[in-house]
Structure 1
Amino acid sequence: RQLEGKLILEVPAQVNPIPQSVLRAAQEENVIIRDTTGRIYK
């Protein structure tokens, strides 16, 4: 059986920006990066 839904990587709240290379890779794989406060990084 195949899983359905959104892929979310939850990380601690970030002080520094997430590198563009990481954001790009996540976008290519349809992964949402979200911190524990609910902020979504794009």
Structure 2
Amino acid sequence: MDEELAALEAVTPEDIQQAARSYFTRTRLSVAHVLPEEARDE
């Protein structure tokens, strides 16, 4: 368990940004429009 915690603590903001650039791309983009129940009938 200590090794897992050490691995998580070793993650840097740059590591997270690199992962985001890899996975959050326009080709993987999804958009959902969530409206209140009463707005659906309009």
Which TM class, normalised by the smaller chain length? Answer: 0.3 to 0.5
Q: Specify which structure has the higher proportion of strand.
A: 1
The structure with the larger Rg is: 2
Higher relative contact order (CA 8 A, sep 6+): 1
